[in-house]
Structure 1
């Protein structure tokens, strides 16, 4: 990627862990997802990453919930945003996660590129407040790639450490991973790579040879520092309530739209240009019109 490439602004709309006790703006119902999608698009976002929930806010991996959320967003914003489904989970079977990909067929699906310790640490308490092993073995990664290749879904490779980036090359050599790639570097999870500009540059430098699209996902308030770093290095960016509730001045965002609006301004202030949805589809090597929309016409 180059500094003159347009910046794809992605929004992680809700996540699956946080709830309204932590941030009142997190959407639960399909109608609330659609309202947030409208705010995202109006503020300049062109790519929406989705974890499904039931209307009471419970995380869901059911086809009907992904379908209802997808339908509501499409009814609200049409083809103005790329739809991206999460496939990451702890304790949810591979088969369950494949089921909603087959049924709903998003344009993009996130694919975690390796196993890791995944934790949250409290410096005040001097202890981990959450700690687990996030298992993403190669056999599951290959299984997801086989399904995505079959369905025409573009994988978004989420890399939490440099070793995850290194895992891309053998999959390309095997022929199960098609280039050019769409890769996001996740910075700031305890157990993954520390969130510094130098580490972000190292992640990008370790990509396999080729003209790949990459971006950054900064977790918690370090998000804004990582956005600035990615913009200076030629990458794209993701913000959103899954990753961070706060604007740079420390105020809590009223919606995903607030976060996207700030990210959009940072792109311009950095001398870069926000991508249109058509440019985002070209950067990710997607059809100009989503398959589901094309079939309906």
Structure 2
């Protein structure tokens, strides 16, 4: 499965063409799906372009994207930067009027289990975010509902390509006895493409988009999620030819 992460917690200062509004995210989603994305991850943003879990904003974003790409699963973040307290994030989830297909929960953040419980109550799939170099895996391992997640996100925080690949291999080894859920492996910035290639070689789910990286594999700056998805598709195709 190839997921496109359309914007992330980035700002227009980092990427002038970052999709922010519901309409921009819908257009970016349409282009990414046309390029081969099968799933979407977005960060709804308020009028100040800040990540938010406010029900009205989440509803507007999801409605716009689903109108543009009907039938494509769409997920959102529940990161602590969008709402500082776990009880606040859980309250937002319980107040959502339009539900995403899934939502990511970062297990290194305090209150992750509380947010995950709210998502399960609403019937929203959980992407369990396990950041490398944190206590996330230990916390996730002890959560009684760990077997109910939609997938595990193995998220590599090292941005040095060699260090990131080593961290990814180590995290995958640690995850193997912990979960039978599908694993989506991804890196960020300079490590995004090396980690994606590792994920492809291991036949794991992958993601790419402006949240993770602003350059194509050859280092050329990119302006669109679609170009990143197309580059990922080329890597998948090249890997399949060697099998």
Q: Is TM more than 0.5 here?
A: yes
| Deviation by residue 1:60-108 (Cα, 9 ceiling, x = unmatched) | 33211111111000111111x2111100123622233224433132111
Contact 2:147 2:181 in 1 (8 A): no
Structure 1 match to 2:229: 260
Indicate whether 1:202 and 2:137 are aligned.
no
CA displacement at 1:156 relative to structure 2 = 0.6
User: Which whole-Å CA distance do the structure 1 matches of 2:154 and 2:179 have between them?
Assistant: 17
Which of 183, 202, 211 is the matching residue for 1:233? 202
Residue 146 of structure 1 corresponds to: 117
CA distance in 2, matches of 1:71, 1:198: 40
SS of the aligned residue for 1:33 comes to: helix
Does 2:99 match 1:108? no
Q: Tell me which structure has the larger Cα radius of gyration.
A: 1
C-alpha separation in 1, matches of 2:226 and 2:46:
22
Q: How large is the RMSD of aligned CA atoms in angstroms?
A: 2.1
2:132 is matched with 161
Q: Which residue of 2 aligns with 1:186?
A: 155
**Which ranges of 4 or more aligned residues in structure 1 deviate by more than 4 Å?**
none
Q: Which position in structure 1 is the counterpart of 2:74? A: 83
Q: Which has the larger helix fraction?
A: 2
Where in structure 1 are there 5+ consecutive unaligned residues? 1-7, 115-135, 273-297
Question: Do the aligned partners of 2:154 and 2:186 also contact (CA within 8 Å) in 1?
Answer: yes
Cα displacement (A) at 1:179 = 4.0
Size of the aligned set, in residue pairs, is 234
The question of 1:218 aligning with 2:197 is answered no
Residue of structure 2 in register with 1:292 after alignment: none
Rounded Cα–Cα distance in structure 1 between residues aligned with 2:190 and 2:172: 22
Uncovered stretches (5+) of structure 2, i.e. residues with no partner: none
**Conserved 8 A contact 1:195-1:218:** no
Q: In 1, Cα distance between the equivalents of 2:86 and 2:178?
A: 30
Q: Relative contact order: is structure 1 or structure 2 higher (C-alpha 8 Å, sep ≥ 6)?
A: 1
Q: Take 2:4 and 2:219, find their aligned partners in 1: how far apart are those partners?
A: 19
Q: 1:210 to 1:216 in 2, by over 3 A?
A: closer
Q: Is the 8 A contact 1:230 1:237 kept in 2?
A: yes
Change (3 A) 1:270 1:109: same
TM-score scaled to structure 2, two decimals?
0.87
SS at match of 1:206: helix
1:176 matched to 2:148:
no
1:227-260 deviation line (CA, Å, top 9, x unaligned): 0111112211111111211101222212111111
Contact 2:3 2:40 in 1 (8 A): yes
Give the secondary-structure state (helix, strand or coil) at the position aligned to 2:240.
coil
